[in-house]
Amino acid sequence: MSANPFEGYYNEKEKQEGGNLDAHDESLLLSTKEILSKATPSLEYCTVSVEETIDKLNTNSKTGLSSVDEADHRRKEYGPNEISVEDDESLWKKFLSNFVEDRLILLLIGSAVVSAIMGNLDDAVSITLAIVIVVSVGFVQEYRSEKSLEALNKLVPAECHLIRGGQEAHVLASVLVPGDLVCFRIGDRIPADLRIVEAVDLSIDESNLTGENEPVHKVTTAINKESYNYDASGIVPLSDRTNIAYMGTLVKEGHGKGIVVGTSTNTTFGAVFEMMSSIEKPKTPLQLAMDKLGKDLSLFSFIVIGFICFIGIIQGRSWLEMFQISVSLAVAAIPEGLPIIVTVTLALGVLRMAKRKAIVRRLPSVETLGSVNVICSDKTGTLTSNHMTVCKIWCLGSMTNKNNVLDLQKTKDVSFKNYLTDDVRATLAISNICNNASFSQEHGKYLGNPTDIALLEQLSKFDLEDNRPNVNKVHEIPFNSKRKFMASEIIEQDGSHVLYVKGAFERILDESTTFLNEKGKIEKLTNAQKATITDCANTLASEGLRTLAFAKIHMKDSEIVEKLTEDMVKDLTFTGLIGMSDPPRPTVKPAIEQLLQGGVHIIMITGDSENTAVNIARQIGIPVIDPKLSVLNGEKLNEMSDEQLANVIDHVSVFARATPEHKLNIVRALRQRGEVVAMTGDGVNDAPALKLADIGVSMGKMGTDVAKEASDMVLTDDDFSTILTAIEEGKGIFNNIQNFLTFQLSTSVAALSLVALATLFKLPNPLNAMQILWINILMDGPPAQSLGVEPVDHEVMKKPPRRRTDKILTQKVLRRLIGTAACIIIGTIYVFVKEMAEDGQVTARDTTMTFTCFVFFDMFNALACRHSTKSIFEVGFLTNKMFNAAVGLSLLGQMCAIYIPFFQNVFKTERLSFGDLIFLLFVSSSVFIIDELRKYYDKKKAQNDPSYYSLV
């Protein structure tokens, strides 16, 4: 077995690159061996017993650390259990590096130096000031993006089950200290390096450390120093430390407890993480797409700028002037800030989503959210409230027929002690023992699986108490979706071994041969009685209740073995059924109505029976017209190929008796049809389906760590309606990206075309280098960014999902930006020619009028770009405060450029009269008016043809 944490990573890298590792990778590979050779807590404690570990850390294997004060003292000594890599580079270094990393900025610096040498100090100072402003704007944008992404990384903190002072609590992993006692179960991520003190069928996936995909079976016994064969280095390999649970690994099977021996960087994973942080993080697909768009636009811009420069020099213009104009145009026209603005927009959108209880873990997923047209959702906890309540109990011995059911909800606050016949008592006892929920004094409630919690909460109705502390449990088979049952072996006071079992009623009934009557006697179970049990279970299910069956068996001496196995669960004695309800969340039905209205297909997937599933589906508004067509159960799914499922899945709204493995087939079939799928899940076995889906959605409260890691989005409230708000936000963000692209590119095209046309027709340049750079600041700066945070229009949910193949720059967007650019060009040239014609030459007044006209055009263009289809009078002028502030500051900056003497010298401008400003506002408002008329025309067309907006 491999002991190298990076082996899997580098093997995969070699496969992908088809070559050898580079020197950087080889140095990292050697560094890992040095890390493994260091004495770590996991290496020290793997060779000592549980008792020695407890003694060394002064803790307790049952109650954990004795007090909060002791934990605080240790936290001061060891620090928080967090792994973060400090950025050693100061802000000043980062800022200064921007001056030398951009070749265009270097060209501008060269232009300033040449101007200074030639005695044009005004130009040199002006260009230098412009460089500082341009670099500062870009730096602020990038810094804001980094801070937004840092905030995203803190949205999904690691959590764990801590026992301290004998009290269990659900806490952040960062509070752990050496000596703490931690509980973990299937699907949990280990929060620190632990010395395992209790293990029940425990297997942990350590592939992220060892490179081995096979889960490691864990035990509590210490590794014997004398008998163990160490490798050549004298170090116990990571994969052979079978009594250690490593930070960051995943529990694949069973459950257990462990004492914290290492935290933060004092863990194996922590040491590897510090080194891995030096590997550069790849760009997201959306960022790569924006980079490609930027490169294509840059190539086009360079061709146009080269043409402008060439023609200008041929015409005899000053080569220094043309050089400055060309470089300034390149800085303004090439959208080098596009990826930054897109990242900031996505990050800010994701932070808004977090406030609405949807945490998006991967930024490109925001774009995909707008395309989702199928949502596959779990029932329990997502569509329902996730608080199970026992409603009905039925036992064959004391209740005989399906109508004679003990209803616990008809009479509230009343003891049901008088109904405790022997079969009811046995059913309650099994529900108590086959249970892993635990009571937390800190939270004042039970923590654990909702079904287990409901079974414990019902005990008080019968004046019974939790009897687990008095029971000697020796073995357990945990519940999973394949076996559909849980079994616990206990030793009773007389020394006999009894097996208690709970699970799906079909599974329990198949293995039952006898039943317990009301007097506690065991009788043979006939086929007619099995039919009665099935009939009763179906009746409970048709009422929307989740139904579990309970059984037990006294084990023979020959059956008592060291390990409990599935094949021993047979010849059971059936005791009774319990029906539990988990009512639909009140927010789900309106959300489903909106999604259906927007063309999204909703599919409910549940492990419950068909009757229960159909009942719940109809309650929440999922259309189930004909159950024969709209409902598929797990048995039918097993018989279908992917092609057969893909052919019928368009009509299916409910999958009943489905396992997490079925989810994978469902997602595969949907994607085969070309659908964009969102899939919800919370368990370990859900991870493959979550990863395969276009948007994997895990539950924040009930979801396991492995499900969260495989998902793209985490719902912190486990509420289905949150998916609606996330899709709405995703659609809105994509629209915002298109809107600020329209603004940026139309301004860029207008600026390039304006100078190109002036050069081509041998007119003086209407804008000087400084003025072009100022326009660049407006184009890449606050006005553009403010378009990215435009509030979401709720009507986006009425439009069908965006197709997977749709590009960001659609034909509609291209037509709009070209039309806008043409309007800006015509209006600006009109003002330039009109002013120049009055005195026959280009004066400071002419360029000031042209420059201000272009800036005003820019602001009106930004206003028009706030929404692609709605009038600004419908959207509202005050709904985007950031936009108003950005435009206000930009106009204030423009006023400074034409009225303050210092800036007049920088931009080569002069004062304009109030009448001039009114004239320019009138001319530049044409771009806004024309766009408003376009929206009005489109709206009229859409009223006659609802599909119009999807066609243009």
* Residue 357: CB atoms within 10 Å: 17
What is the number of other CB atoms lying within 10 angstroms of the CB of residue 763? 15
Q: Which two tokens stand for residue 608?
A: 């419950």
Catalytic residue among 123, 205, 378, 582: 378
Q: Which residues pair with 516 in a beta bridge?
A: 522
Strand ranges inside 291-386, DSSP E? 358-360, 374-378
84 CB burial (10 A radius; 0-12, 13-18, 19+) = middle
For residues 631 and 405, what is the distance between their CA atoms, to the nearest angstrom? Answer: 28
The upper half-sphere exposure of residue 922, i.e. CA atoms within 13 Å in the direction of its Cβ, equals: 8
The residue among 292, 285, 324, 287 whose CA lies nearest residue 308 is 324
> Coil, helix or strand for 901?
helix
Question: Which two tokens mark 400?
Answer: 């005989």
DSSP 256-309: EEEEEEE-GGGSHHHHHHHHHTTSPPPPPHHHHHHHHHHHHHHHHHHHHHHHHH
DSSP-assigned letters across all residues of 819-840: HHHHHHHHHHHHHHHHHHHHHS
Q: Residues 767, 755: contact at Cβ < 8 Å?
A: yes
List all residues 6 or more positions away from 286 whose beta carbon is below 8 Å from its beta carbon.
Answer: 342, 346, 363, 364, 367
3 state DSSP class of 561: coil
Asked if 453 and 390 count as a contact pair (C-beta separation under 8 A), the reply is: no
The residue among 655, 660, 550, 663 whose CA lies nearest residue 613 is 655
Q: If you write DSSP's letter for every residue of 496-528 in order, what string do you get?
A: -EEEEEEEEHHHHHHTEEEEE-TTS-EEE--HH
Which spans in 720-871 are helix H?
721-760, 769-780, 782-787, 811-839, 844-864
**Contact between residue 273 and residue 83 where contact means Cβ atoms under 8 Å apart:** yes
Instruction: Specify the DSSP class assigned to residue 870.
Output: S
Backbone angles phi, psi at 406, to 5 degrees: -80, 110
Q: Are 119 and 758 in contact (CB under 8 A)?
A: no
How far, rounded to the nearest angstrom, does the alpha carbon of residue 144 sit from its chain's CA centroid? 20
- Residue of 497, 520, 518, 516 whose CA lies nearest to 508: 516
CA angle 289, 290, 293 (to 5 degrees): 90
What length does the chain have? 952
Tokens coding 121: 């100090």
Helices 285-314, 319-333: inter-axial angle, 10-degree rounding: 160
φ/ψ of residue 222, rounded to 5:
-80, 155
Residue 407: active-site member:
no
Distance CA 516, CA 422 (A): 8
Contact indicator for 558, 568 with CB cutoff of 8 Å? no
Residues tagged active-site: 378
